[in-house]
């Protein structure tokens, strides 16, 4: 693929994986992302984010949890009324009132869920497995009776016995569920075990399997990719990895990895990822760390002399993909580790310096960093 310079060691993995021909993207920034502590989007921000998500090619927008409030219901309906290409989804417990709120919001898909792990059944729901099972079947029937798409989740699926998962998923499929979502609700899986779980479920189910991974151990994207490698056809993501606790699988990282490493189609316009990220960063008021992958400010920034020399000679020496692919730009940064190639690159269009003068500028830049952490282009110009 043009602009991608990943390892050839990935090829055998790609060839023996069970990728779907096209992986669909459900973005839940407006629902799970807004559950990030301290985040609350305004109506205008939600509409703007939904519009941008649609523009970058997201297939499904989980726009909220309608039963939360009348305002939430109305906001989701307004998003639906915008006439976006993306399908609009609402979240609901396996409760009639929740589903009615989704119906009132005029969504295309209802994402129903019920907890199935022992710890959730005993301490949160205070019900036995059979009662939860009856609720799952009844809710599925109710959604399908109203002619909507139904996505079903066993909440805390990755701490639920596998035979119980199979029982719930196969049964709701028989009752018309269109998608099986597998939530790693507290982020306790690792890639090999996720691959095995999805492989097992894939053998028993005919409807598409979806991934929903949390990042408690920093493995949300890795687990999402593992599930997709095992045949999952949809993934839940959030912009900038927003979400409960440590967040959800990052939209930017998941789709770029699928595209660049595995050549899997998602329909996402990668060159719009940076602007999408900046929009949500501004609306959420949660600033990304500079070293955040793909869309962070330092993702394509170089300071160390050896790296700068390599990048200027051949970009892929130190970049696995071109910055333009994901809407970024390469930056050569001046600082403590700056070498003569970085300085020469910066001043060559403005000044004519010989090697001795360039070395002198480099020395001055390095001295300046002792008392000043960040060196600007104006500082370098003044030194020259």
pLDDT over 90 at 38, yes or no? yes
In angstroms, the CA 135 to CA 152 distance is: 12
Q: How many domains does the chain have?
A: 2
User: Is the confidence at residue 343, as pLDDT, over 80?
Assistant: no
Is position 86 within any domain? yes
Average pLDDT for the chain: 91
In a domain, 342, yes or no: yes
Q: What is the mean pLDDT of residues 58-69?
A: 98
Please state, in angstroms and rounded to a whole number, the distance separating the CA atoms of residues 352 and 187: 56
Domain contains 195:
yes
Name which of 52-56, 198-202, 380-384 the model is least confident about: 380-384
From first CA to last CA, the distance across the chain in angstroms is 41
CATH number of the domain to which 107 belongs: 3.20.20.70
Per-residue pLDDT at 298 exceeds 90: no
Q: Looking at the structure, tell me whether residues 275 and 330 fall in a common domain.
A: no
Residues 118, 184, single domain; the answer is yes
Looking at the structure, do residues 370 and 221 belong to the same domain, yes or no? no
Residue 260: per-residue pLDDT:
96
Whether 289 is covered by a domain: the verdict is no
Higher pLDDT, 194 or 308: 194
Phi/psi-derived region of residue 26, left when phi > 0, alpha when psi is between -120 and 50, beta in every other case: beta
The pLDDT > 90 percentage for the chain reads 77
Mean pLDDT, residues 315-338 taken together: 76
Assigned domain for 351 exists: yes
Q: Which pLDDT score is estimated for 151?
A: 98
Q: Are 103 and 73 in contact (CB under 8 A)?
A: no
Question: Containing domain of residue 314, as a range?
Answer: 301-383
Question: Which has more confidence, 312 or 36?
Answer: 36
Kindly report, residue by residue over 95-128, the tens digit of the pLDDT: 999 999 999 999 999 999 999 999 999 999 999 9
Q: How far apart are CA 20 and CA 264, in angstroms?
A: 8
pLDDT category at 293 given cuts 50, 70, 90 is: very high
Give the other-Cβ count within 10 Å of 297's Cβ: 15
Q: What is the pLDDT of residue 338?
A: 61
pLDDT band at 341 (very low <50, low <70, confident <90, very high): low
Judged by average pLDDT, the poorest of 11-15, 84-88, 189-193, 314-318 is 314-318
pLDDT value of position 344:
67
User: What are the φ and ψ backbone dihedral angles of 345, each rounded to 5 degrees?
Assistant: -60, -40
User: What average pLDDT score do residues 167-172 get?
Assistant: 98
Q: How confident is the model over 286-313, as a mean pLDDT?
A: 76
The model carries a pTM of: 0.91
Q: What is the pLDDT of residue 353?
A: 76
Mean pLDDT over 328-354 rounds to 69
pLDDT at 268 over 60: yes
Q: Is residue 234 part of a domain?
A: yes
- Residue 350 has a pLDDT of 72
Q: Are residues 378 and 280 in the same domain?
A: no
In this predicted structure, what is the pLDDT of residue 100? 98
Q: How high is the pLDDT of residue 311?
A: 56
Give me the pLDDT at residue 269, please.
Answer: 98
In this structure, the answer to whether residues 25 and 163 fall within a common structural domain is yes
For residues 306 and 247, state if they share a domain: no
Q: Are residues 277 and 313 in the same domain?
A: no
Helix (H, G, I), strand (E, B) or coil at 161: coil
Domain contains 2: no
pLDDT of 374: 66
Are 116 and 238 in the same domain?
yes
pLDDT of residue 313 exceeding 60, the answer is: no
């Amino acid at each position: 693929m043009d602009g991608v310079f990943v390892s050839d060691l990935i090829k055998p993995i790609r060839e023996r994986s069970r990728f779907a021909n096209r992986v669909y993207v459900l973005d839940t920034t407006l629902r799970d992302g807004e559950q990030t502590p301290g985040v609350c989007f305004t109506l205008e921000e939600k509409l703007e984010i939904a519009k941008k998500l649609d523009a970058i090619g997201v297939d499904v927008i989980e726009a909220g949890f309608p039963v939360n409030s009348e305002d939430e219901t109305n906001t989701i309906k307004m998003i639906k009324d915008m006439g976006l290409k993306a399908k609009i989804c609402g979240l609901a417990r396996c409760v009639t009132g929740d589903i009615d709120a989704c119906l009132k919001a005029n969504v295309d898909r209802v994402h129903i869920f019920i907890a199935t792990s022992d710890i959730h059944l005993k301490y949160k729901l205070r019900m036995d497995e059979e009662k939860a099972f009856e609720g799952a079947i009844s809710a599925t029937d109710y959604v399908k009776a109203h002619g909507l798409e139904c996505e079903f989740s066993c909440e805390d699926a990755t701490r639920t016995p596998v035979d119980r998962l199979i029982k719930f998923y196969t049964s709701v499929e028989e009752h018309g569920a269109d998608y099986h979502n597998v939530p790693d609700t507290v982020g306790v899986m690792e890639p090999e075990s996720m691959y095995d779980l999805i492989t097992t479920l894939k053998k028993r189910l005919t409807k598409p399997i979806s991934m929903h991974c949390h990042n408690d151990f920093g493995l949300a994207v890795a687990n999402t990719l593992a599930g997709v490698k095992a045949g999952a056809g949809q993934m839940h993501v959030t912009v900038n990895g927003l979400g409960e606790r440590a967040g959800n699988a990052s939209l930017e990282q998941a789709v770029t990895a699928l595209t660049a490493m595995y050549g899997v189609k998602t329909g996402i316009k990668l060159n719009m990822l940076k602007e999408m990220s900046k929009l949500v960063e501004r609306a959420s008021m949660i600033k990304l760390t500079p070293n955040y992958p793909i869309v962070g400010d330092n993702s394509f920034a170089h300071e160390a002399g050896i790296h700068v020399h390599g990048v200027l000679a051949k970009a892929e020496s130190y970049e696995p993909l071109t910055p333009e692919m994901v809407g970024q730009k390469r930056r050569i940064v001046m600082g403590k580790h700056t070498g003569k190639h970085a300085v020469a690159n910066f001043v060559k269009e403005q000044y004519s310096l010989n090697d001795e003068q360039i070395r002198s500028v480099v020395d001055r830049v390095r001295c300046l960093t002792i008392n000043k952490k960040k060196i600007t282009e104006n500082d370098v110009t003044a030194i020259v």
